[in-house]
Structure 1
Amino acid sequence: MIGDFIGGNAILLALAGFIILSIFLGVRIVPQSEKHVVERFGRLRAVLGPGINFIVPFLDVVRHKISILERQLPNALQDAITADNVLVKVETSVFYRIIEPEKTVYRIRDVDAAIATTVAGIVRSEIGVMELDEVQSNRAQLISKVREQVAAMVDDWGIEVTRAEILDVNLDEATRAAMLQQLNAERARRAQVTEAEGKKRAVELAADAELYAAEQQAKAKRIMAEAEAFSTNVIAEAIAKNGLEAAQYQIALRQVEALSEVGKGDGKQTILLPASALEAFSDAFAMLRGIGK
Structure 2
Amino acid sequence: MNIEDFLLNFVGNNIVFLLLAALIVVAILTGVRIVPQSQKFVVERFGKLRSVLGPGINLIVPFFDKVAHRISILERQLPTNKQDAITSDNVLVQVDTSVFYRIIEPEKTVYRIRDIDAAIATTVAGIVRSEIGTLELDEVQSNRAQLIIRIQQSLEKIVDDWGIEVTRAEILDVNLDEATRAAMLQQLNAERARRAQVTEAEGLKRSVELQADAELYAAEQAAKARRVQADAEAYATSVVAQAIEDNGLEAAQYQVALKQVEALTEVGKGNGKQTVLLPSAVLDSFGDAFGLLKGRS
TM-score, reference length from structure 2: 0.85
Q: Distance in 1 between matches of 2:265 and 2:100?
A: 105
Q: How does 1:143-222 map to 2 (within 5 A)?
A: 143-222=148-227
Confirm or deny that 1:244 pairs with 2:250.
yes
- After TM superposition, give the deviation of residue 223 of structure 1 in Å: 1.1
Could you tell me how far 1:273 is from its partner in structure 2?
6.0
* Aligned-residue identity in percent: 66
Q: Aligned to 1:181, what secondary structure does the other structure show?
A: helix
* Equivalence map 1:1-293=2 (5 Å): 2=6, 3-242=8-247, 243-250=249-256, 252-253=258-259, 274-276=277-279
Give the 3 Å change call, closer, same or farther, for CA 126–284 of structure 1 in structure 2.
Answer: farther
- When structure 1 is superposed on structure 2, of 135-144 and 102-111 the one drifting more is 135-144
Deviations 1:120-152 (A, max 9, x none): 110011111211112112222211111111111
Instruction: Report how far residue 14 of structure 1 moved.
Output: 2.5
Aligned-pair distance for 1:283? 8.3
Q: Deviations over 1:150-188 (max 9, x none)?
A: 111111111111111212211111111111111111111
Say if 1:103 and 1:25 are closer, same or farther in 2 by CA, change over 3 A. Answer: same
Inter-partner Cα distance in structure 1 for 2:96 and 2:205: 48
Counterpart-to-counterpart distance in 2, 1:79 and 1:142: 16
Structure of higher CA gyration radius: 2
3-state SS of paired residue (1:93): strand
Amino acid at match of 2:163: G
Between the aligned partners of 2:179 and 2:147, the Cα distance in structure 1 is 24
RMSD of aligned residue pairs (Cα, Å)? 3.0
Shift in Å at residue 87 of structure 1?
A: 0.6
Offset, 1:105: 0.6
The answer to whether the 8 A contact 1:97-1:161 is kept is yes
- Give the secondary-structure state (helix, strand or coil) at the position aligned to 1:13: helix
Question: Does the C-alpha gap of structure 1 residues 281 and 196 become closer, same or farther in structure 2, counting only changes over 3 Å?
Answer: farther
Relative distance call for 1:193 and 1:254 in structure 2 (3 A) is farther
Map of 1:266 onto structure 2? none
Task: In structure 2, give the amino acid aligned to 1:162.
Answer: T
Partners of 2:125 and 2:263 in 1: how far apart?
Answer: 102
Structure-2 separation of matches of 1:258 and 1:109: 131
Helix, strand or coil for the counterpart of 1:275?
A: coil
More displaced stretch, 19-28 vs 161-170: 161-170
Q: Which letter does structure 1 place at the counterpart of 2:136?
A: E
3-state SS in 2 of match to 1:56 = coil
Deviations for 1:32-66, whole angstroms, at most 9, x for unmatched residues?
A: 11100011111111111111111111111101000
Could you tell me how far apart the structure 2 residues matched to 1:254 and 1:164 are? Answer: 107
Distance 1:279 1:55 in 2: 151
Counterpart-to-counterpart distance in 2, 1:272 and 1:202: 63
Deviation at 1:15, TM superposition (A): 2.1
* Counterpart AA for 1:249: Q
* SS at structure 1 position matched to 2:114: coil
Name the aligned partner's letter for residue 126 of structure 2: G
**Unaligned stretches of 5+ residues in structure 2:** 268-273
Q: By how many angstroms is 1:81 displaced?
A: 0.7
SS where residue 44 of structure 2 aligns? strand
Name stretches of at least 5 consecutive residues in structure 1 with no aligned partner.
263-270
TM-fit CA distance, 1:282? 7.9
1:267 maps to what in 2? none
What residue identity is the alignment partner of 1:123? V
Would the aligned equivalents of 1:27 and 1:52 in 2 still touch at CA under 8 Å? yes
